[in-house]
Structure 1
């Protein structure tokens, strides 16, 4: 397998987008997925159970120093940056990045530095520019850059910013991202 990790970032509209995406991933999807979703403090109590209803894969909120495991969908905890540190995750309470903590750029840049060309970065719907520089870092190290087609995004800001930084990214409608990822395993 060429890739070792899929990293995803979303903001406004991300929960709806994740429901669509998770529905399309098969139970035997072998890659780990790390997700930064800009969110409120009730995410674990409300959104994760709703997402579990749409997923054949197990979902969890990341703990510090937790191993990166194939087939898991791991979400950054509220108010912590999520980083990739070798074969495990690290959490940080460093300053806000792009007005957010967790920030997509922090996850993506750390994944690019740790795994180079073995990372797939996916930018989904959202406002602002978070994730654009991180996706650029992934592409610069030979990783695969995917962006939700801004025309299919509830909020096209993040996908549009990502495409401005990484014009060579693969652009797919939301419904096409899960099947595309499934073909990578």
Structure 2
């Protein structure tokens, strides 16, 4: 059974992520992690944007926090977010990867090592290739890889890079991505 869902995005991804979160029911069985590029000065600005549409509790991830089902976690600005083997988050101030921190690649690679085939990873819109290497790692460890159809992305560099980097399981519309995430409830 899937045990973690990750949604990575950058430019153009916030409204897509909002629609996706709005579709998840209060009894959603997985923790959901949102990783997006934020300037260090962003603070917790995304929190109210996602809290206003989500039926699940939305919070900023913090160091050593236990990852719990039925919650949405946002990677905090200016830190790489990772997963430890004990199911807790870790924050890192390692240098930016592909000019960004938090990095979608860093989180996906970390989560792939811990969750392997129990990970669902989604990439939405973005203006750089962050996420491509991480999705390749998710695929290599047996996780499910889902990418927004680049024709539906406001900025298609990120989804195109993922499709070029690995043989993804699904290239899908936003509605199809929502259906795939909701199917976890009925068909783990």
TM-score by length of 2: 0.93
The count of aligned residue pairs is: 183
Contact in 2 for aligned 1:126/1:157 (Cα 8 Å):
yes
Alignment deviations for residues 52-110 of structure 1 (CA, whole Å, 9 cap, x no partner):
11111110001100000001110111100000112111000001101100000000000
TM-score by length of 1: 0.95
5 Å-filtered alignment, 1:77-156, equals 77-86=76-85, 87-156=87-156
| Corresponding residue SS for 2:97 | coil
Structure 1, unpaired ranges of 5+: none
Mapped partners of 1:112, 1:82: distance in 2: 13
Contact in 2 for aligned 1:20/1:175 (Cα 8 Å):
no
Contact in 1 for aligned 2:147/2:168 (Cα 8 Å):
no
Mapped partners of 2:93, 2:171: distance in 1: 32
Runs of 4+ displaced beyond 4 Å: none
1:26 aligns with 2:28: no
**TM-aligned CA distance change 1:172 to 1:43, over 3 Å:** farther
Mapped partners of 1:18, 1:136: distance in 2: 21
What is the match of residue 9 of structure 2? 10
After TM superposition, give the deviation of residue 168 of structure 1 in Å: 3.4
Structure 2, unpaired ranges of 5+: none
| Corresponding residue SS for 2:181 | helix
